[in-house]
Amino acid sequence: MLRNMRKAGQTLVGKIIATVFFGALIVSFAIWGIGDIFRATPASTVAEVGDAKISVAQVQNAYTTQLQQLGRQFRTVISPEQARMLGLDQRVVNSLITDAVLSEEAKRLGLSVSDELVARSIMDNPAFKDNSGQFNRILFDQTLRNMNLSEVGFVQEQRAAMARAHLTDALAGNVTIPAAAKDAMHRYASEQRSASYFVLTPALAGDIPAPTNEQLQGFYEERKSTFRAPEYRAVNVMALDAASIAKPDDVSEADARQRYEQQKAKYGQPERRTIQQIPFTSMEDAQAAAAKIKEGTTFEAVAAERGVSASGLDLGTFTKAEMLDAAVANAAFALAQNGVSDPIQGRFGPVLVRVTQIQPEAVRPFEEVAAEVRQEAARERAQSQIERIHDEIEDLRAGAKPLADIAKEKGLTLVQIPAIDAQGRDKAGNPVTAPQRDAVAKAAFASDIGVDNEALRVANGYVWYDVTGIEPSREKTLDEVRDQVVAQWRDDQVSQRLSEKARELTERLDKGEAIEAVAQAVNAPVKNATGLTRNANKDDLSAEAVNRIFSTPVGKASHAANAADSRAVFKVTAATVPPLPSTSQQVQNVENQLRTGMSDDLVNEYIAQARQDLGVTINQQALRQATGGGEL
């Protein structure tokens, strides 16, 4: 085709046609295509709330703050993929939308905050006060710089936040809690019950004959989804961390010995000394006291003269590194046991010290820990190379090099997982052995075959993964799961028989028979349970059975599943509720809990209606840009 076009282009007619065609094409680019290059600009607004706009920068700042807080909470680096799985991006934008809704409502209602109130709130903020408790302008400016905020911007945020607080306080700041609500809450939390009961065990179900093929087939058809095989994925995984690239053999003996000497305390117990101290107000007094001790006066006598009691002498037991005052530490660790120092000019004034006990150093020799020292040194060196190797691997990935080849080239381990489900288990139901198994499983099930996946950022490294195969979820045949179906059918039969037996025995109790007589019919011992509380198991009663006792009137009988294979038959004998004191911390706690819940409900209802009235739109593409989920 291209050859024919070239031949046609050699003729006069062909040249005219080509000129007209390409001319039109150039004009079209000039009008639509090239113009769009200059006109298209990245979206700057993530959401609009009425007339208010939430910018990309606002979302980025709030998102970064939340991401850092999560990282500190879990003591690891949270990757963008993990943050999205946690719904952090949606929570951040919804929080900003809520603030915008309240701010718009405050404007509509004419709420304002005076300059005096804003200034007072800033002056009273503990974050801006020095050690004396006074507002510190230098600290205030430094904090704003760290937050990347100008003074004007911060004041505006404070004013808006205070207006929102005034609005929510007006909506639900003084909720009155009805006495009936307090009583109901107290009753639910404090009620205790007693019951007499006995337990029906699987042995009481009798012999369960083997199911017929028809029974088994019917049971299987009714519960086919229970035996469905989950979707499995084949995944290749490669991890890059300090341990995977560390080379202990490259650490020389000299370097290892130097590290050992620097960190000797890690390999045993350093020397510890129990130290006593007498403080003085002047060096002259300390020198006079030292002279008395040399002449025979006891350390305790000199301390008593200074008004220091025997118990006040003890400074404590320390390693040299644990002592805050280097001068005192050097002197104390140079003394023999029971020796008294010369006067020392310590950090807090002149002192005399005495060592009353010495616990000798006990450190494992270098030869014993040499391998451990080399491994630690190698990992420390490797840590500094991770980012460089990461970039090299990304370059190879960009060149479409397979993960297996990259692992071989970089000396990393490629873990090939033939089958993993969304919960990180293999086909036998066992946890798969793989780096960052849970994170990889979630990411793999959000990906597909042939997708160039972004590396997962994990603590101290990265993990790459490729989905190499997908085995769809399917219904297993009866033959595949026959043993499981038979076991479940038998359990179901036992449960049905025990439930029917329990119903019969409960009817006898409700007719007035004594529980001892009813229990004797099934050779079950009667037990008494007291002090039962909701949602808590006690003795051999499960939480499910206890909750059933709380839903049964006093004096009535009932039954409940008590475990996977037993059933409890019981009669409620008592229910007690301690009186609700009119003045106590418990009552205050109940009121606070109810007030918080009711206040939150009122504010949330108000915000929901205000959102609907104002109109809220979210630009998901701009949100992804703001949270690192994609570029515009």
Dist. CA 519–CA 505, nearest whole Å: 8
Bridge partners for 529 per DSSP: 195
Q: Are residues 34 and 46 in the same domain?
A: no
Count Cα neighbours of 24 within 13 Å in the Cβ-side half-sphere.
5
Query: Among the listed ranges 330-344, 361-375, 578-592, which one has the minimum average pLDDT value?
Result: 578-592
Domain identity same for 243 and 388: yes
Beta pairing, strands 461-471 & 456-458: antiparallel
Tell me whether residue 253 is in a domain. no
Regarding whether 153 and 56 lie in a shared domain, the answer is: yes
d(CA 558, CA 510): 9
Task: Provide the domain count of the chain.
Answer: 5
Q: Is the pLDDT of residue 631 over 70?
A: no
| pLDDT at 574 exceeding the cut of 90 | yes
Does one domain contain both 544 and 630? no
Residues 47, 26 within the same domain = no
β 314-319/527-532 pair status: unpaired
| Euclidean distance between CA atoms 437 and 420, whole angstroms | 9
Last residue of a domain, one of 472, 493, 522: 472
Kindly state whether residues 376 and 239 are assigned to the same domain: yes
Query: Does residue 121 lie within any of the structural domains?
Result: yes
Residue 196 has pLDDT above 60, yes or no: yes
Q: At which of 472, 505, 521 does a domain end?
A: 472
Instruction: State residue 503's pLDDT score.
Output: 95
- Rounded to 5°, angle at Cα 479 from 473 and 485: 85
User: How much is the pLDDT for 27?
Assistant: 45
How confident is the model over 451-506, as pLDDT tens digits?
A: 888 898 887 789 999 999 999 998 889 998 899 999 999 999 999 999 999 999 99
Q: Quick check: is 151 in a domain? A: yes
Instruction: Answer whether residue 183 is part of any domain.
Output: no
Per the domain annotation, does 493 fall within a domain? yes
Strands (E), 280-426: 314-319, 344-346, 349-359, 362-363, 414-420
222 lies in the same domain as 236: no
Per-residue pLDDT, averaged over 181-200, amounts to 88
> Do 218 and 208 share a structural domain?
yes
Identify whether residues 35 and 50 lie together within a single domain: no
Q: Are residues 308 and 239 in the same domain?
A: no
Is residue 182 a part of any domain in this protein? no
Least confident of 69-83, 156-170, 239-253: 69-83
List, in sequence order, every residue forming a beta bridge with 52; answer none if it has no partner.
49
CATH number for the domain harbouring residue 355: 3.10.50.40
| The Cα angle at residue 271 between residues 265 and 273, in degrees rounded to 5 | 135
Question: Mean pLDDT of all residues in the chain?
Answer: 83
Residues 101 and 219 in one domain: no
* Res. 34: pLDDT tops 50: no
pLDDT band at 75 (very low <50, low <70, confident <90, very high): low
Residue 96 has pLDDT above 80, yes or no: yes
Name 45's bridge partners: 55
Structural domain of 328: 271-360
- The pLDDT value recorded for residue 241 is 85
* Domain limit, last residue, from 472, 494, 526: 472
CA-nearest of 604, 616, 615 to 168 is: 604
Asked whether residue 366 is assigned to any structural domain, the reply reads no
Q: Are residues 433 and 445 in the same domain?
A: yes
